């Protein structure tokens, strides 16, 4: 038996696991390297492991918990023969085929690679964030806004994401306070005008977050005005962090074409990267939609692209 895999999938969020389901059902016997549990950027299951209820993934009329959804996808991939390695990829060599994927001292080789390493929301770096994420603290208004009907909540950030999230959240919340560390927004003019005109949005300028309060749910926020030095408690029951995202592409720097922001570039409506035989799917190449269902859809595309590409290579 050859020690060269048909396809190695790197990353195990909805994109990677969907790619694995499709690739294994196409008898490609994929190896999926899922990441390591201790890490937030490489955590098996991806960002859905940090959420609680997922109510917008089709097929679950009563919703499903994020970790359970990922466990289901994992089992589904294994059922069709996906081999899963719980570890972190440390290096890749994409200069010759078969490609090499290194996990410390062990080298795995593959004729095709599917990159689904995802992205992570930038966080403030507070200890409370680990405790409260999914419990009143969120990084995705589309995913979690619905749970804040009638609440007073805060959005942290001053860019387009923050104002977009704030606007969306006013559909549910009674009041949305945007907390920005300066007195001038980074967001585009049109987004600013919309936010200023929204009676449910208030701004706290020149303000940084010192702490988010609450043991098992958000009960308030300690904030500080950086100009006056005055500290105060903001009475909110929900917090959305919207200070940007970072794709997990350090491994591929200089090896795959990426945008300045680090997102991988895929060709047209396909999952093809600029290296033949390497495909990308999910949030690592999508800074627009960032949904579990769109990631899963693009994982399916990557598996089909890889299957057809492999078939064309080997006749
Ligand atoms: P961004 O433009 O980088 O803005 C990040 C914001 O978060 C900035 O206001 C920044 O403050 C603040 N911030 C960063 N680190 C912080 C920290 N540690 N503590 C407190 N505040 C912090 O990111 P984005 O809003 O996610 O947008 C990313 C890109 O996507 C942009 O090009 C944006 O135009 C685009 N986008 C477009 C739309 C749209 O057009 N509908 C929607 C979303 C995103 P400073 O301003 O002080 O640096």
Given the CA of residue 208, which atom of ligand 1 is nearest to it? 20
Residue 245 Cα to ligand 1 midpoint, Å, equals 9
Return d(Cα 309, Cα 33) in angstroms, integer.
Answer: 21
> For residue 50, what pLDDT is reported?
73
* Catalytic annotation, residues: 140, 143-144
Q: How confident is the model at residue 143 (pLDDT cuts 50, 70, 90)?
A: confident
Task: Give residue-wise pLDDT tens across range 166-188.
Answer: 999 999 999 999 999 999 999 99
pLDDT at 278 over 70: yes
Percent of the chain scored above 70 by pLDDT?
97
Residues lining ligand 1, CB < 6 A?
124, 156-162, 164, 181-182, 186, 243-244
Give me the residue label for tokens 């600029």: 274
Return d(Cα 210, Cα 233) in angstroms, integer.
Answer: 10
Residue 193 Cα to ligand 1 midpoint, Å, equals 16
Residue 160 Cα to ligand 1 midpoint, Å, equals 6
Task: Give residue-wise pLDDT tens across range 55-108.
Answer: 899 999 999 999 999 999 999 999 999 999 999 999 999 999 999 999 999 999
Given the CA of residue 157, which atom of ligand 1 is nearest to it? 7
pLDDT at 1 over 80: no
Residue 166 Cα to ligand 1 midpoint, Å, equals 13
Predicted TM-score (pTM) of the model is 0.84
> For residue 167, what pLDDT is reported?
96
Residue 195 Cα to ligand 1 midpoint, Å, equals 15
Q: How confident is the model at residue 315 (pLDDT cuts 50, 70, 90)?
A: low
Q: Whose CA is nearest to atom 33 of ligand 1?
A: 160
Residue of 129, 139, 160, 164 with the most ligand 1 atoms within 8 Å of its CB, for mutation: 160
Return d(Cα 180, Cα 202) in angstroms, integer.
Answer: 11
Give me the residue label for tokens 């997102």: 263
Q: What is the mean pLDDT of residues 297-303?
A: 98
Given the CA of residue 243, which atom of ligand 1 is nearest to it? 7
Task: Give residue-wise pLDDT tens across range 255-265.
Answer: 999 999 999 99
Provide the strand spans (E) within 43-139: 53-54, 64-65, 83-85, 91-93, 99-103, 106-115, 119-121, 137-138
* Three-state secondary-structure class, residue 71: helix
Task: Report CA-CA distances (Å) from 299 to 4, 251, 285.
Answer: 22, 19, 11
Residue of 243, 262, 288 with the most ligand 1 atoms within 8 Å of its CB, for mutation: 243
Residue of 186, 208, 211, 212 with the most ligand 1 atoms within 8 Å of its CB, for mutation: 186
Q: How confident is the model at residue 247 (pLDDT cuts 50, 70, 90)?
A: very high
Given the CA of residue 287, which atom of ligand 1 is nearest to it? 30
Q: Whose CA is nearest to atom 43 of ligand 1?
A: 161
Residue 268 Cα to ligand 1 midpoint, Å, equals 26
């Amino acid at each position: 038996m050859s020690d060269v895999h048909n396809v190695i999938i790197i990353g195990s969020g909805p994109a990677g696991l969907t790619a694995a389901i499709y690739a294994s059902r196409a008898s490609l016997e994929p190896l999926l390297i899922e990441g390591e549990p201790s890490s937030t950027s490489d955590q098996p299951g991806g960002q859905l492991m940090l959420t609680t209820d997922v109510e917008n993934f089709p097929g679950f009329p009563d919703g499903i918990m994020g970790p359970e959804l990922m466990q289901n996808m994992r089992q589904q991939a294994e059922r069709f023969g996906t081999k899963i390695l719980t570890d972190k990829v440390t290096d890749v060599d994409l200069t010759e085929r078969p490609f090499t994927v290194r996990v410390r001292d062990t080298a795995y080789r593959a004729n095709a690679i599917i990159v689904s390493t995802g992205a992570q929301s930038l966080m403030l770096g507070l200890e409370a964030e680990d405790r409260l994420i999914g419990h009143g603290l969120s990084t995705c208004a589309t995913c979690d806004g619905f749970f804040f009907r009638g609440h007073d909540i805060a959005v942290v950030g001053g860019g387009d994401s923050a104002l977009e999230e704030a606007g969306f959240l006013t559909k549910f919340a009674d009041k949305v306070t945007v907390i920005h560390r300066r007195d001038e927004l980074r967001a585009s003019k049109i987004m600013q005008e919309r936010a200023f005109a929204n009676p449910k949005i208030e701004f706290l300028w020149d303000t940084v977050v010192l702490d988010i309060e609450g043991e098992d749910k958000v009960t308030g926020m300690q904030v500080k005005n950086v100009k006056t030095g005055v500290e105060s408690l903001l009475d909110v029951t929900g917090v959305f962090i919207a200070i940007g995202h970072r794709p997990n592409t350090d491994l591929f720097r200089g090896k795959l074409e990426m945008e300045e922001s680090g997102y991988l570039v895929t060709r047209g409506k396909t999952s093809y990267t600029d290296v033949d035989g390497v495909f990308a799917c999910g949030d690592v190449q999508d800074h627009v939609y960032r949904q579990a269902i769109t990631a899963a859809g693009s994982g399916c595309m990557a598996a089909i692209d890889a299957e057809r590409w492999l078939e064309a290579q080997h006749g």
